[in-house]
Every structure is written in C-alpha cells, then in structure tokens.
Amino acid sequence: MDLESKLSEIGKNLRSSLIRELLKYASVPGSISFGGGVPDPETFPRHELAEIAKEVIEKDYKYTLQYNTTEGDDELAKQMVKLLEKAYGITGIERENLLFTTGSQQALDLIARIFLDKDSICIAEFPVYLGAASAFRINFPKFETIPLQDDGMDVDYLEKKLKELDEKGLVNQVKFIYTVPNFHNPAGVTMSLEKRKRLIELAEKYDILILEDDPYGMLRFEGENLPSLYKLAGPDRVVLLNTFSKILTPGLRLGIIIGRADIVRKATLAKQAADLCSPSLNQRIAARYLERYDLFEQLKPGIELYRKKKNTMIKALEENFSDIPGAKWVNPQGGLFVWMTLPEGFDTMDMFEIAKEKKIYYIPGQAFTVDDSVSTSMRLSFCLPPEEKIIEGVKRLKEVVVEYGKKKGLI
Ligand SMILES: *Cc1c(COP(=O)(O)O)cnc(C)c1O
C-alpha cells in the first residue's frame, strides 16, 4: 500500500521534531546534554506519591479506576482553586472555569482545534515554544511571530504588526496571541509588568484573546513575582494554561485550562472527542498531594537546586565565552533554560556536527522557529546535568564554537 496517497493533509504534514531527533545522541556514553527540557527526577516526591497512589487505588477505587467526567476531578478542582489563589492571587474561579487536560500539550491542541482555521492568524513569540507551534499547526494557520527582548515580547513590533493587519482588513483573522510570560521556553526571558499591561491594551484595542502559558511561574529563583496576564486582564481577555509537569511530575500528564466558562465548555467538548477524560487516578493522586502537602514548601529544595545549577552555568559561560565578541546569553530568573546567541554567521544547526564529535548537546535555535530558519542561537538546559558536568559541558561547548568559528572564518 502506498501510505502517502492514503494520508490526510495532517498526516502528510507530521514530521519528527528536531528535538526528538537530536536527543537520540544524548544517550551516547560520555556525553553531556544541555538538550532535554525535563525536570530533574530527584525533585519528584516519589515516596509521597507512591503512598498516596496505593491509598487512592485501594480506598477510592470506585473513582480512581473508573471513567471520569471530561471536566475532571472535582476534588482536584477544589485544590486548584486554592492553588490559583496562592500562586497568582486569582480569585472568583468556579468549577466551570476549569478543565483538566492531559498535560498542557493537550490544552494547546484543544485551543488550536476550537479557534484556528486555515485562514486564521496565530501570533506567537520568536523564538516559540516548539510544542505550541506543533499543536497550532494542526489546522494550518498562518503565523506571525513577535521577537522577544530581554524584558519579553517586543510590544512595539506587535503594535506595528496589528496595525498593519488592521489596515489590510486581516485583524479579525487573528485568533489569539500566544505567550509564555515567565522564564520563557526556550528564551529564558520574563515579560516586564509594563509590557504585560501594553500587551493587554493592544489585545483589548483589537479584540484579540491572549493565551498565557505559564508552566514555570512557580519556579522563580530570583527577583519578584509579577502578576499574571489573567490576573491583570481577567477571563474576558486571557485564557491561562497551567501544568503539574514542572512543579510536581510530568508523568502524571496533568494540565489545566483556566478561562471563561464558554471557552472552557468548548474545549471540554473538543476533549471529549479526543480522549473522553484524563486519567482519574492521576487527578486524584494530585488532589490528595495538594491536600496533604504545601506545594510551595515542597518546591523549595528543587528551586534551590535549579538556582545553583543555573548560577553554575552562567558562571561557566562568563569564564569561557567572554573572549568571543558578540556571544551573549540570557540569565534567567527562573525556569530551566539559558538561551545563548552567537555572533552573526554562526549556524547552530550546522555546528551540531562538531558538537556531536565532542559529545556535548544543545538544541539549535532553528527548532524554535515556525519556518525552520537558520539560527545563531541555542537552548541550553541546566536542569539535568550535575554541576561538574555543567562546567565540563560549557568547556566543550567553547571548543565546539571555536572550532566551528575558525572553520567558517568567523573568529
Ligand atoms: C514544559 C512546557 C509545557 C508543559 O507541557 P505538559 O504537556 O504539561 O507536560 C507547556 N508549555 C511550555 C512552554 C513548556 O515549556
């Protein structure tokens, strides 16, 4: 059978992500990987979760081993309302404003399904979170990307873009503006309060929804918390996505959509078609965990671990790269990533061949573009390697950059 001729448009367009391909190399013995954007397993509260899992399987089996409603566990919803108040100061959340999803990834997919058509325009940041871009692509919208600066999205550029689209009569086709305001994946930057307010003003002016994806907000290791867009603008303007992946464990696959009841309702109907419901067992485990433990207290050692690793990476970058003019990196206040940019002429994808030889892995910036364009940047994740490996890895990275730079006549 000729598979290609049978496939749908979507099926034909599916391709393995660059990240997936590149991460295959990271298991080579002796390699050091700054590639994987996954939490450190030592931060998972495995004993607590194991105890709760046994208990809820044995005692709550009529719930945990059964089908569940599409909306998800009411007990988890109760805990979530408390958590949203504590983490963001968000109040007034009712059950109808919440939908539990199979990770935030499903939330992104559901949002794409209910908002985007072929002629829709989707505004995202550049660089963009790859998972979001792949989810939005499902309905083949057009992308407009807004560059990120050290204090978040370039809102002047956004304003110019929206004005342009308005003049062309296209602004109604813009369905939402997708942003990761805190400790961006991959760019590491955080949107300033001033920019948050301007983004909301622009969204209000042109009547566009903001999709706020905040998996890292609770993983701040420096600086002051900033109010979420949802808190600032409310459910008429913002849909907030959250997840337990970075603050508890990604293995539970638990995400959440927080938004206006009618939007949540549509997403619920889309979820029904996708998977009926998220696993009852996982939701109840998370509910009991939040009931019994103070998540913020539990997060402290993990945040401290990430803070140390981040500082180690930044120090190593300063020590190794200050003699490469034009090389720069973002020093994040939280999250899991450092974004490094090399001088003009570098192509971090092309450079990956040398990185492979030296057994040091990163994610080339090209993976975070919507059009596969060449990039001088790369994402360096500090969350998995121990500190001595971070130091050794940055040394290897320097060798890679020097070798590539000399080969191409760039340094
Ligand atoms: C990790 C991450 C997520 C979380 O995805 P899950 O499906 O919940 O594991 C969402 N958005 C961004 C930007 C991320 O980095």
pLDDT string in tens for the chain (411-residue length): 999 999 998 898 887 777 777 777 778 899 999 998 889 898 999 999 999 999 999 999 999 999 999 999 999 999 999 999 999 999 999 999 999 999 999 999 999 999 999 999 999 999 999 999 999 998 899 999 999 999 999 999 999 999 999 999 999 999 999 999 999 999 999 999 999 999 999 999 999 999 999 999 999 999 999 999 999 999 999 999 999 999 999 999 999 999 999 999 999 999 999 999 999 999 999 999 999 999 999 999 999 999 999 999 999 999 999 999 999 999 999 999 999 999 999 999 999 999 999 999 999 999 999 999 999 999 999 999 999 999 999 999 999 999 999 999 998
CB of 185 within 6 A of ligand 1: the answer is: yes
User: Residue 240, Cβ neighbours under 10 Å: how many?
Assistant: 24
CB of 127 within 6 A of ligand 1: the answer is: no
Pocket residue to mutate for ligand 1, from 179, 191, 245, 383, most atoms within 8 A of Cβ: 245
Pocket residue to mutate for ligand 1, from 129, 306, 336, most atoms within 8 A of Cβ: 129
Q: How far is the CA of 184 from the centre of ligand 1 (A)?
A: 11
Q: Is there a contact between 257 and 98 (Cβ–Cβ < 8 Å)?
A: yes
Per-residue pLDDT, 10: 87
Selection from 366, 326, 339 nearest residue 150 by Cα: 339
CB of 320 within 6 A of ligand 1: the answer is: no
Q: How far is the CA of 323 from the centre of ligand 1 (A)?
A: 35
**Ligand 1 nearest atom to the CA of residue 255, by list position:** 8
Per-residue pLDDT, 359: 96
CB of 213 within 6 A of ligand 1: the answer is: yes
**Ligand 1 nearest atom to the CA of residue 213, by list position:** 11
Q: Cα dihedral sign for 23, 27, 33, 38?
A: positive
Selection from 173, 196, 177 nearest residue 126 by Cα: 177
CB of 179 within 6 A of ligand 1: the answer is: no
CB of 134 within 6 A of ligand 1: the answer is: no
Q: How far is the CA of 105 from the centre of ligand 1 (A)?
A: 6
CA–CA dist 54, 381 (Å, integer): 34
Q: Which residues does 321 contact at the CB level (< 8 Å), separation at least 6?
A: 327, 329, 398, 401
φ/ψ of residue 364, rounded to 5: -60, 145
Q: How far is the CA of 303 from the centre of ligand 1 (A)?
A: 17
The 10s digit of each residue's pLDDT in 216-250 is 999 999 999 999 999 999 999 999 999 999 999 99
Per-residue pLDDT, 15: 79
Q: How far is the CA of 192 from the centre of ligand 1 (A)?
A: 21
Q: Which long-range contacts (CB under 8 A, 24 or more apart) does 201-207 make?
A: 202/155, 202/158, 202/159, 202/162, 203/177, 203/233, 203/237, 204/233, 204/237, 205/162, 206/162, 206/166, 206/171, 206/174
CA–CA dist 265, 394 (Å, integer): 47
CB of 152 within 6 A of ligand 1: the answer is: no
Rg (CA), the chain: 22
CB of 243 within 6 A of ligand 1: the answer is: yes
CB of 215 within 6 A of ligand 1: the answer is: yes
**Ligand 1 nearest atom to the CA of residue 243, by list position:** 8
Residue nearest to atom 2 of ligand 1 (CA): 215
User: Which structure tokens are listed for 403?
Assistant: 């070798």
Q: Could you give the C-alpha distances from 170 to 120, 159, 167, in angstroms and in order?
A: 9, 14, 8
